[in-house]
Amino acid sequence: MTSVVKSSNLGYPRLGEHREWKKLLESYWQGKINEKQFSETSKSLRLENLKKQIEFGIDIIPVADNSNYDHVLDTTAAFNLIPTRFGNYKRPLTLDEYYAVARGDKDNVAADMTKWFNINYHYTVPEFDNTEPRLLENRWLKYWQEAKNELGIDGKPVIVGPVTLIKLGKLNGEYVESEKDINQLLDQILPLYGQVFEELQNAGVKWVQLDEPTLVKTEKDDDIKPYYRATKYLHEVAPKLNIELQTYFDSIDPYQKVVKLPVQAIGLDFVHGKGENLNNIRQFGFPDDKILVAGLIDGHNIWVANLQEKASLAEELHTFAPKLWLQPSNSLLHVPITKKFETKASPELFGGLAFADEKLQELVSLTKKLNGNDVSAEFIKNADDIKALNDSQARNNKNVQEAIKHLSKEHFERHSKYSERSKKQQDNLHLPLLPTTTIGSFPQSSEVRAKRAAWRKGDLSDKQYNDFIASETKRWIQLQEDIDLDVLVHGEFERTDMVEYFGQKLAGFFATQNGWVQSYGSRGVRPPVIFGDVAYTEPITVKESAFAQAQTSKPVKGMLTAPLTIINWSFVRDDISRATVQNQIALALRQEVINLEKAGIKIIQVDEPALREGLPLKQRNWQNYLDEAIYSFKITTTGVRDETQIHTHMCYSDFEDIISTISGLDADVISIETSRSHGEIISAFEDAQYDKQIGLGVYDIHSPRIPSVKEITDNIRRGLKVIDHKQFWVNPDCGLKTRNEEQTLEALKNLEEARNIVLAEL
């Protein structure tokens, strides 16, 4: 008899349907609620998320996937693996102590933060130097017991695996990679995991989800050794506790070794990874003694699954693996919660959307189908919804499609080499040595947000809102002049988000009403939905940039977001290639760049912060991705005169591997984040002989602390050891949108003073 197929989930979004979780965190940070009130509200949000999954009919429900900030930080806090500068604890951290690690405090910079694999979520980077690991709190048992006692759920605790935790962290300022370092750290932390697993087993927990996504970056059989050591140890410590070893975001290369690890279930991603997991199963089969946990529903995009295709795939997998669970490809943390609030979506678009709740319902339908239940009505509606979207006018713009066909005939390059045009630019701009500037955005104050909300509700007329934006822009131009910055920005007060704003102005995009996704901490973003062919319909930033430039004799940068970042920070249609969508965006933005130049803007910044973070997880797929990035950037930027200076910005990046790509973009000036990585990114440029201009971010904007003049001065001097002073710009490491006005102005005054000190030394 064929075994029953079950539905499973890996994790549920934290934000809440109306961002209740975000508001909770910020209320606590602002002192509006105390720790007890925080605890009570966070519990009700956790239970509400679990109730939903019960109601949908999910068989295996994750617990302890909740967080007060970030799941990696939760793990390091539970094991006392926090930076020693914050203290060494023998009890669970208080909320204030926990948030000091994440956000910094008056005495300490925050822990490093970087992207979670190649998607737009940030995790808190563990620092393993001089720690005294000990189990401070078994949070996984705590939340399993809560779900059991409150809702009767026999849940599946979710824990970041020990090898992934180590590889995501740093030792002596470098990411942990060597076998020796991995094993030494396993010596320290495996006993703590063992203690957690033993306590879970003794409490009656049946399953634990051990997330080891770094497995998708392994290449050779020998790379599996630390995972084998960890799973063998944990199985021996808690032999009655079943382990679901979970991977996601790509395929497994040493497949035959991984499926032999001493665990009871293995989770594989069948959405991403170019079909390689499926090919491995077809070639090598799957062990009879293990459960295959098949990630069939895309966990980081928002389109309905083709249920008939997914059912056929699941049925094929079932022939190789009689014990089968169906689940999303990865945690649903990375998609919005529900589409039910998207009342402005057209019928064909609405029918094509599937957020977290809809994805869980798709899973249940698939599971029922494989178990022999009649779900024909759901499958028919699903097919109709997909056809309606693909047949829509938005996906059949003949002009855009023709332009894309003819791209190969164009040669996108600047008129002159950098060495020639840089002289023209200096004659045009008259900038001093070590010019100071910011990255683009200024604080989105409560007043700015309130005015925008009132305008959207219709309580403020277009004229009233535009007048307010103009007055705020004018005020900040004056503030920048008072500080004496050399290159100014208009502040982006009209923009909620650097990608969402462009999505609202280009054809082929849809701006969701409630499609919020966590980026880091309480920071939520609403990625635009690219659902149709992308076209330029009207100027996007020209009016605001030209107005700002009219207020000052100093140059004001035009500010755009580049095609690849728009792609990486959007939900992208999946019926055509990403490269095609990217080039559609590039052609549209090219027209905007030309229009900015015509309006008298002499410096245009085309930000590409997501270039490095979006690299495929497997290096063999890098070159194609990077070539496509360069091509789309050049489509965007090469239509201007030599005198117009093109800037770009990148953040959260290890640049060693992509220096040639950075140079290949042929931007005149690049600014990059270096502050949180304590300057080690600078070393990437030591041997590269980078010949263009560069701003190494000299202070961290993600922390509320104000950097001292000495701190910034030291960072400038450190950069000048590698970069020639004629190439060097001085700027913060990212936009200042999330800081308040006082923090911003004090930090920028210190930045200007630090620059002047170093300039005097030169």
- % pLDDT > 90, the chain: 82
Tell me what the mean pLDDT of segment 274-300 comes to.
97
Residue written as tokens 């009132």? 454
Q: Is 569 annotated as a binding residue?
A: yes
Q: Is 595 annotated as a binding residue?
A: no
Where does 551-609 have alpha helices with state H?
563-568, 578-598
Q: DSSP letters along 290-323, please?
A: SEEEEEEE-TTS-BPP-HHHHHHHHHHHHHH-SS
Q: Is 26 annotated as a binding residue?
A: no
Amino acid at 226: P
Look at residue 2 and tell me whether its pLDDT is greater than 60.
no
Q: Is 439 annotated as a binding residue?
A: yes
pLDDT in tens, 550-596: 999 999 999 999 999 999 999 999 999 999 999 999 999 999 999 99
Residue 609 CA to residue 444 CA, distance in Å, equals 20
What pLDDT band is residue 675 in, cutting at 50, 70 and 90? low
Q: Is 236 annotated as a binding residue?
A: no
251 has binding-site annotation: no
341-383 pLDDT, tens digit per residue, is 999 999 999 999 999 999 999 999 999 999 999 999 999 999 9
> Has residue 651 got a pLDDT over 80?
no
pLDDT at position 701: 84
Q: Residue 393's closest CA among 347, 456, 355?
A: 347
The domains of the chain are located at 6-335+344-393, 420-761
* pLDDT value at residue 39: 96
Contact between residue 342 and residue 17 where contact means Cβ atoms under 8 Å apart: no
- Confidence band for 674, pLDDT divided at 50, 70 and 90: low
Q: What does each C-alpha distance from 550 to 439, 474, 477, 556 come to in angstroms? A: 20, 9, 10, 9
> Which long-range contacts link 671-674 to residues 24+ away (Cβ below 8 Å)?
671/439, 671/647, 671/695, 671/696, 671/697, 671/729, 671/731, 672/696, 672/697, 672/733, 673/697, 673/733, 673/734, 674/698, 674/715, 674/719, 674/733
Q: Angle formed by the axes of helices 446-457 and 462-483, to 10°?
A: 160
Distance of CA 280 to the CA centre of its chain: 29
Could you give the 3-state DSSP secondary structure of residue 616? coil
Among residues 205, 132, 134, 192, which one has the least CA distance to residue 160?
Answer: 192
Residue 688: band (very low, low, confident or very high) from pLDDT cuts 50, 70, 90: low
Distance CA 261, CA 259 (A): 6
Is the confidence at residue 194, as pLDDT, over 50? yes
d(CA 104, CA 112): 10
Q: Is 492 annotated as a binding residue?
A: yes
Query: What confidence score (pLDDT) does residue 654 get?
Result: 64
CB 299 within 8 A of CB 331: yes
Q: Write the CB contacts of 342 (distance below 8 Å, at least 6 apart in sequence).
A: 350, 353, 512, 513, 514, 515
Whether pLDDT at 678 is above 60: no
CA dist., res. 93 & res. 737, Å (int):
29
734 in a known ligand binding site: yes
Q: Is 402 annotated as a binding residue?
A: no
User: Which of 235, 534, 594 is closest to 400 using CA atoms?
Assistant: 534
Going by C-alpha positions, the residue among 63, 8, 217, 67 that lies closest to residue 520 is 67
643 marked as binding residue: no
Residue type, 618: K
- Tokens 């803007």, residue? 601
Instruction: Quote the mean pLDDT of the chain.
Output: 93
Q: Is residue 415 a contact partner of residue 421, using CB atoms and an 8 Å limit? A: yes
22 annotated as ligand-binding: yes
One fold for both 6-335+344-393 and 420-761? yes
* DSSP codes of every residue in 87-117: ---SSPPPHHHHHHHHH--SSSPPPPEEEST
For residue 409, pLDDT over 70 is answered with: yes
Counting residues of the chain whose pLDDT is more than 70, the rounded percentage is 97
Nearest to 209 by CA among 309, 63, 383, 346: 63
Predicted pLDDT at 88? 83
Which residues are tagged catalytic? Answer: 702
H/E element holding 560?
A: strand 557-561
d(CA 94, CA 598): 56
pLDDT confidence of residue 681 = 60
pLDDT band, very low/low/confident/very high, at 652 (cuts 50, 70, 90): low
Q: Give 645's strand partners.
A: 603
Least reliable range by pLDDT among 1-5, 599-603, 607-611, 688-692: 1-5
The stretch 685-694 carries a mean pLDDT of 77
Token representation of residue 369: 């189908």
Q: Looking at the domain that runs over 6-335+344-393, which CATH code has it been given?
A: 3.20.20.210
Contact by Cβ (8 Å): 721, 680? no
Give residue-wise pLDDT tens across range 201-241.
999 999 999 999 999 999 999 999 999 999 999 999 999 99
Q: Please tell me the predicted confidence (pLDDT) of residue 296.
A: 98
440 labeled part of a ligand binding site:
yes
Q: Quick one: 143 exposed, middle or buried, by C-beta within 10 A (0-12, 13-18, 19+)? A: buried
In angstroms, the Cα distances linking 481 to 428, 434, 448, 748 are: 20, 17, 21, 11
CATH of 420-761, one of 3.40.50.150, 3.40.50.300, 3.20.20.210, 1.20.210.10: 3.20.20.210
**651 is annotated as contributing to ligand binding:** yes
Query: In angstroms, rounded to a whole number, what is the distance separating the alpha carbons of residues 650 and 561?
Result: 11
pLDDT at 319 over 80: yes
> Average pLDDT, stretch 428-432?
95
Query: Residue 597, annotated ligand binder?
Result: no
